[in-house]
Structure 1
Amino acid sequence: MSFISQPLSLSGAYNVRDLGGYPADEDKTTKCKSFLRADSLANLSADDRKFLYDYGVRLVIDLRAETETQRNPDAIDHQAMEYVNFPLLDNIQSSFLQGKMPSDMSEMYIRLIENSKTTFAAVLRKLAECEGCALYHCTAGKDRTGIITMLLLKLVGVSDDVIIADYSVTEEYMQPVFVQQKKMVQAAGIEVPDFVFQSKPTFMQKLMDYMKEHYKTVEKYLLQAGLNETVIEQLKHKLV
């Protein structure tokens, strides 16, 4: 894996990365400045907001639960870019690390894929409509954001190895935040397994294996979730 997307130069976020630059089907390469995956935008500075606007961001999709958005609202310029909240309830960050924990992250990913089809379809429909660059994010930019990223990249034939590399590097970029989160939950006396703060390759591999076994392709999954061929083609065109 020679190339992995690097975080954009922002002072208030650690894991805002472009989906551009990856090899896709038909010897194509994913386009830059179409989609950004991101962690929390609650601490963006004025310079960060200008940077994102100048980068072309015109849509921000927040994948967090309403309780998360209220506690840490996005610090974006609502006049300059559209903001939409499509909550994906992971029952980990969405319940502030106090929900029932899965056996590993892939269990939660599969549960989301099965139980939130309508929401995934709504997110991707909105991404397809966006005229400029679209940014989508959750809290760490790892789990809910990771699933959306997998769906987009698989749609245009990016290899599993590349998708896994793009997913697993989040643990490295988010290390300073995860260290603080661990301290906070320990101080509160909450038991949280280490894997919650990890992005192991096996977590994403298990999800993709499940998708292949149950749906054959991401495209078939999305059609079943409620997207039509036109929207799927729009997404592909935006990305390659």
Structure 2
Amino acid sequence: MRIRGSRTAIALGVGAALLGGGLAAGPAAAAGQASAAYAPTAVQRLVPVEGTANFRDLGGYRTYDGEKTRSGVLYRSEALNKVTPNGVAQMAALKLKGIVDFRTAAEIGANGPDKYPAGVPHSNLQVADGGLMTTLYAVITSGDPVRQEQILGNGRAAQMMVDMYRTFVDDPAIRAQFAATARGVANGTVSLYHCSAGKDRAGWMTAILLTAVGVPTGTVNQDYLLSNQYLKPGNDALKQQLLASGRMQNPSLLDPLLGVDQRYLDAARSAAEARYGSFGKYLTDGLGLDILTLIKLRQRLVT
């Protein structure tokens, strides 16, 4: 997709910032994390990569049969466009097998491409947001509190998110991107995937993978909700900026869009079960993952 005109680029940039966790961690924000090399443990979740705030290891989760997911094998994160040179070096130490970027071409054009170690395979498997970011830009830059309330208030912002999560299941093109990523993880060619904030598209991808290898639903939910903790400082700063600039009188209207909510994940799960009969059938029939791929996923991700 080609971006035409600076106004469109700015629109997508603001929208991506909103769904991308507000202010991504820069050198100063990550300085405390950068002092030591990352050594994966069962309890350490956040991975220090300077220029990110939501880069996480998916190891250490118990499965139904008492095993654990492997640490230092699979990671999820927000966009890598603000990663510093030191952050690139930190990523190099992880020995990544491959990276998948779920952002659209418009998002990448507005906010910049990923920064990552030379030689690491990188794929852009675009998952669209249904125009959500462009809508957000128009609402926010209007500076009209009445319009903002009409579009975002009274549960409407949360409903936008619920609807977007349902498209993760219902849209065949989107299913194909998640399926391709799952196969890459199973084959050992993908060890990091991300979207803008590392919370929605990456969140659903993580739910797919953890569920597929036998991690209980409650644990999957806990991992999903961790994005709220890691993105809160940047989100709070963004809302303060919007208030100070006069763009919004009530920045809390953005809360349903800036964070994650159990209702969003449940909406995607319910869509999968309604369409395919069970989550297992969603994996095999919806995503087309055969038994060999599911076995390979388990072998790669579980001890």
Same fold (TM over 0.5): yes
Equivalent position to 1:198, from 253, 259, 272: 259
Say whether the 8 Å CA contact 1:164–1:205 is kept in structure 2. Answer: no
The more displaced of 166-175 and 221-230 is 221-230
Equivalent position to 2:104, from 61, 65, 80: 65
2:52 alignment partner, SS class:
coil
RMSD of the alignment, in Å?
A: 2.6
- Please give the residue correspondences for 1:32-181 in structure 2 after superposition, counting only pairs within 5 Å: 32-71=71-110, 72-77=112-117, 79-91=118-130, 95=134, 97-98=136-137, 103-115=159-171, 116-131=174-189, 134-181=191-238
| Structure 2 CA distance for aligned equivalents of residues 91 and 172 of structure 1 | 26
Code of the residue aligned with 2:209 in structure 1: it is L
The more displaced of 121-130 and 201-210 is 201-210
The more displaced of 7-16 and 200-209 is 200-209
The more displaced of 144-153 and 209-218 is 209-218
The more displaced of 86-95 and 17-26 is 86-95
Q: Which runs of 5+ in 1 are unaligned?
A: none
- Does 2:268 align with 1:207? yes
Alpha-carbon deviations, 1:170-220, whole Å to 9, x = none?
A: 012012322344456675958964200121223223333443344344332
Equivalent position to 1:221, from 282, 289, 301: 282
Aligned partner of 2:51 in structure 1 is 12
Shift of 1:223: 1.9
Bigger radius of gyration, 1 or 2?
2
| Structure 1 CA distance for aligned equivalents of residues 246 and 196 of structure 2 | 19
Identity of aligned residues (%): 25
Report the TM-score, using the length of structure 1 for normalisation: 0.86
| Structure 2 CA distance for aligned equivalents of residues 163 and 5 of structure 1 | 16
| Structure 2 CA distance for aligned equivalents of residues 118 and 51 of structure 1 | 31
Higher helix share: 2
Alpha-carbon deviations, 1:82-136, whole Å to 9, x = none?
A: 11000111236664834896615232111221102122112212222225x6110
The more displaced of 27-36 and 223-232 is 223-232
Code of the residue aligned with 1:39 in structure 2: it is E
Q: Which runs of 5+ in 2 are unaligned?
A: 1-41, 139-150, 152-156
Instruction: Call closer, same or farther: CA 1:6–1:108 in 2, change over 3 Å.
Output: same
| Structure 1 CA distance for aligned equivalents of residues 81 and 125 of structure 2 | 17
Report the TM-score, using the length of structure 2 for normalisation: 0.69
Code of the residue aligned with 1:118 in structure 2: it is A
Say whether the 8 Å CA contact 1:104–1:203 is kept in structure 2. Answer: no
Paired residues, number? 236
Higher strand share: 1
Instruction: Call closer, same or farther: CA 1:58–1:95 in 2, change over 3 Å.
Output: farther
Code of the residue aligned with 1:170 in structure 2: it is S
